[in-house]
Structure 1
C-alpha cells in the first residue's frame, strides 16, 4: 500500500491555507479548518509556521481594556509585503505587465504597444526584460524584491520547462523562452499559456471567484482553452497547455477542417487586409476586430457571413466542451468578442441546437471583457499560486533559484 509523500501533503495543505486566507480575507483558524476540512492541530501547525515565515499576520479583534470578557479573537491575514511578483502577457501587437504584492493587489502596470510577433527570440526577450524592469521601477521596488516573473503568451507551452512548442508569436517551434528571460533577469521565471493565465485571472479576480470548476475559451487569432478543476489548472502530458483551434469540425477525403480554419480572426478576415490599407493598419495596431465590426455595420456582407460562420462553429465547439466536461460555467474572453452580436447570435443559436437536452441547464455561458491588465494579472496569479505551494523557511526546505537548473524546469 502506497503512502502519500509527507512534504507533498504539507505543500498542498500550505497552498490551501494561504489560498483560503487570500479568498476570504482576515479569517480565524477555526474557519480555515472548516472551509478546507483540516484538523485544528494541522491548521495551527501550518499557520504558526506561516506566521514565523512572515507570510501571514495575526490580527487581534476585541480589546480587554474596553471591558470585553475573554481573550481577543485572533484573525489571520496575508502579509502583502511577503513577496512581489511580475505578470506579463505577450500579444502580437503589445506587451502588458503588472507588479503585484503577495495577495495579488496591483502595485504598478504597463502596456507597451509594440508589434512583437515574428521578432527573433533575443529581441522579444530584451523587450520583456525592459518591460519588467520598468514596471518594477514604477512600483517603487527593486528587482531584488521580486520573487518571480510569469510570462504568458498564446500557443502550446510546456509549463515545467518553459519551452514554447508552438506559438504565433515566434517563427520557430520549441523556443526556449524561459531560458532567454532568466538569462536577462537572473530570477525565477515561469512561462505559461495566456489561456491558462487568464483562467487564473478569472478565478482569482474575475467572473469565477466563486467557482472552482469551469472552462474558459479564449477567442482571438489563436483559439485556446483553459480548464480549472478543483481550483487548479488542468494541464496535459508533460504539463502542456491546451489548444482549441485544432479541434476537428469536419472532414472530407482530402483534409480535416479545424476550428481555427473557420473561427480564428485570420479566418474571419480571410485576406481582406491585402487590398484594404485601413484594415491592414487596424490589424497592425491590434484593433482588427473593431474595424471588422465597423465594416459589417457599414454593409460588408462578406465579413458579416464570415463572422456568423465563426460564431456557429464556436457554438458547436463549446457544446462539445460542455458534453465532455459538464462545467457549471463557460467563460468566453478575447478580442474577437468585439464583433458582438455579429458573432454571438450565431454562437448562441448553434450552441442551443448542438447541446443535448440532458445538459441544457448545466453550463452558464459568461461573456467577459477582459483587458490587458487582467491577462497580465492572471500571469501574476500563476506565479503566486506556485509560491503559495512552495516550501518556505520553517515550513520546509527554502525554495531558492539556481540558474544552472534550467533543464527540467525546476527551481531547487
Structure 2
C-alpha cells in the first residue's frame, strides 16, 4: 500500500485551470496549518517553494507566520488551538465557522496542490472533503504521531494523501511495516536559528542581552499554546514554583508566552492562582531558552526546542480524563515527551495526568536547579543525554526537501 493514487486526475495546467502571469505559470497551492508550530513549519515550506517557483500563489488556513510568508488567508487557525479528543466540544461553534470558511475558500480557489501540516483531528476530515471538491493532489507534511497513539489512522491517512512527508528518522520503518511508503525529509526545526549550536557561554550572553541577574536561578514555564493547555498546566506549575521557593527564595520564573496565546488570558489565570506577582510573563524570544536554567514544559514542540538548546527540563501533561481514557485504548508507546521518544530512553522526567501535582513537579525540578558552584550533577547528565539525542535528528534542509516534493506534485511543465 502506498500513499500514491494512480487514479488521480491529471495535474496538467489544463486540468487544474492554472493561470499565466507574464509568461509564467501561476500555480495555486492551498496550505493548511492548525496550530502555532504548524504555522511556523508551513511558513518555512512556503518560502522554500516560493524560492523555486516565485509565481506560486499561496492560499489557505494559518496564522501570522504564514501570512507574513505570503498566504492569502481564508481562515485563521485561532479557533483550532485546542488539544485533546474532547476538549474541542465547548468551542464547537468557532470551529464550525472556521470549517465553513475553509471549505468556501477551497471551492473559490480550485487549488493545484493541497498541503496539510500535522493536526490530524482537523486534517483527516478536511482531506476527505478536499478530494471530493477538487482535483488537486494532497501532500501531508509532518504526519500525525501515529507511532505514539491511534495507529489505526495510518490507512485513512494513506488513503487520503497522495504523498506523506515524515520528519522523524524512525517513522519510515513504522509506516513501511504497515505497507505505506513515505518520504523522510528531516525535521524542519533544524532549518531555524534555534537549531544552531549554542555559544560556549550562551547562558551569560542571553542574560546580559535580556538584562537578567547572572547568578539567580531561573525556571522557564511553558504551559502550552492552546487555551485548554493553559487551564490544566499553569496552576500546578505555579504550585510547584511556590514549593521550590520554600527552600530557594532566590528562585525566579518566567512564563514564555506562545505567539498564539492571549496575554490577558494568562494574566487572568495567574490572578486566579494568586500568583500575579510571582511569575514574569515575557514574549517568546530565542534568548529565553538559553537564559533559563531549567524548563518546565508541556509535551510538544517546545521540548524539542529545549533539547536543541541543551536545556534541562521536566515535561508535564494533563488532559481531560475521558480523552485520556479513550486515548489509552490506542496508545502505542510508554512515552510522550519528544526527547525521550527521540532518545528511545527516559532522558527527561515525564509527569502525566494524576502525577501532575505541585509536589511531584517540585521533586522532579529540584535536582536540576543549579547550586552555588554551578550546574547540578543531574542537570549535567541530562544535558549530555540531550546532546546525544540531538544527533539522531538528522541534517537541516527539511523545508527545501518538502518543497521539492511539492514541485514534483505540481508537475515539471512550466509555461
Return the structure number with greater strand share.
1
Is the TM value for this pair above 0.5? no
Q: Give the TM-score normalised by structure 2.
A: 0.29
